[in-house]
Amino acid sequence: MTAADTYSETGTAPGRARPETTARPAERRSFGAPSPMNLPIGQHRASLFADRVRAQPAVSPQLSYMIGQTAIGLGLWGLLFPKSVKRTLGVESSAPVVQALFGARELWTGFTLAGDPTKSEMLWARVAGDICDIAVLASLDKPENPKRGNAKAALGFVLAVTALDLVTAVRMSTVKRNCE
């Protein structure tokens, strides 16, 4: 019997102890099941488990992460440059209102999704925020608004982002986590 045969039969290299686990073989191979990493610490062994997430399809977490990155950019614009947002869209509200409604909310959801793109509750919060944005932008689509064209373009952008947020929120709501 060769070293390769030993490795393939036991799942470990020759001369090494097989990792201890309580999971059945089928569970160990499952993508969502935790696989322990046993570390020797003095005379004891410590088992570390990794939290794995499974989303169908795998593009959903990446899309959620990119949504978070976009939200960070929009949030910075709204928080740091509220007068620019007001000028661009024809908003008549005060700068603190723009900072709170557009900047802080976008930053909050953006940083949360950048940290963990599988947080479906944050994606649902984005959908709710998008509905508010749609209402505000639709109210800016009036003939007396000199920036009506910009408001319409922003409304189209927000409608597209809302569709992405909604699809991603639905998909990420079905994510199964093994360590919660």
pTM: 0.63
Tell me if 179 is assigned to some domain.
no
Residue 28 sits in the same domain as residue 94: no
**What pLDDT score was predicted for residue 179?**
52
Residue 143 sits in the same domain as residue 68: yes
Helix axes 120-139 and 105-115, enclosed angle (nearest 10): 150
Residues 117/36/180/62 CA torsion (nearest 10 deg): 10
Q: Number of structural domains, the chain?
A: 2
pLDDT band at 13 (very low <50, low <70, confident <90, very high): very low
Residue 33 sits in the same domain as residue 101: no
Q: For residue 9, what are the domain limits?
A: 3-52
Residue 78 sits in the same domain as residue 137: yes
Q: In the predicted model, is pLDDT for residue 127 greater than 80?
A: yes
- Higher-confidence position of 120 and 46: 120
Tell me if 180 is assigned to some domain.
no
